Amino acid sequence: MKLRSILVLTVMLAASGILYYYTSQTKPPPPNKLRHFVWDVDMEELAKMVISLPAQGKREAWVKHEDRYWYFDQPEGPKVNMKRWGGGIPLLLSGPGAERLIVDNASEKQLEIFGLIEPRMKIDLTLENHKKIQINVGDSTPDVQGFYVKLRQSKAIYTVHESWVQVMERLVLEPPYPDSEEKPKPVDPKVQEQRKKEAELAQANRDRGDQYRGEYHKKSGVVALGNGLLYRVLKKGKGKIPAGNDSVQVHYTGRLIDGTIFDRSPQGEALTFQLGGVIRGWREALQLMREGAHWEVVLPPELAYGRWGSGEEIGPNQTLVFEIELIEVRN
């Protein structure tokens, strides 16, 4: 589903530089309809990250210290090279976009076929609340445009774009150790101008979204949550309320605040998603809805695609409006 977490301007710029360094400006794939994420956490919650390449016998680990900087997890480990790390690496590890769901309950044979029994890469993340997220990365897809991935505690198999896997591998093969003698390269004036335009667009979208949500909040029947989510109940439901990682069957329409429709479910056809695989704003709204409910939901950028936006249709810091009809909850 189209939805992603939040970044301030400086983090976005740093991440852009990192992606350029690691992927030689490999362009990310266009967003899919209702694109969701293999896992989804706030990058600020990450406390430790470990990436292993079993076949090559290589492993690197990083920990976040009290100063909020990342260091190599070694005795007196050095701080990471911030010109290569910035805020982009934690962002990428906060959850990649899923290109496709291949199977939601894989058999042992399927796990073997997709290279997930003996994976090419293992990623172990620890959050500040000590929760762990463990990921296996298997073989590449037949078109070599992606890789098969799964959470170790789940049997669902997804594909992610190959550029994301390349970045993760290069963190191990070319670790971002500090280089005190490296001099910063001058920024291309064209790049500076582009960054300036992006920053101005992000701020303009933020201002328009704030104004829209302020006006929307005044409408009759609007409920405001403490995280900025707004909703109106168009029709009450009487069935089950989804929780955890239930699957939900929904009809939906997504609009920008000017009324432009950027995504919708096919006419007459409900779509099914795992609750844990959608953006935060959807996840929080759906866990308040009952089967049969029909709501209009307004999401601030922090609960949608944040500072990144999504493709050409959703710009940075855009407020999004959804009509969501919850058809069925499946455990």
**N residues, the chain:** 331
Angle at 94 between CA 190 and CA 228, to 5 degrees: 85
> How sure is the predictor about 53, in pLDDT bands with cuts at 50, 70 and 90?
very high
pLDDT at 5 over 50: no
Is residue 291 predicted with pLDDT exceeding 60?
A: yes
pLDDT tens digit string along 157-207? 999 999 899 999 999 998 988 875 444 556 678 877 887 888 899 899 999
The CATH T-level fold of domain 215-330 is: Chitinase A; domain 3 (3.10.50)
- Determine the pLDDT at residue 192: 78
Q: What is the pLDDT of residue 185?
A: 56
CATH 3.10.50.40 range(s) for the chain read 215-330
> pTM (2 decimals)?
0.52
β-strand partners of 118:
none
β-bridge partners, 296: 232, 323
**Helix, strand, or coil here: 23?**
helix
Q: What does the angle CA 312 – CA 146 – CA 26 come to, to the nearest 5 degrees?
A: 50
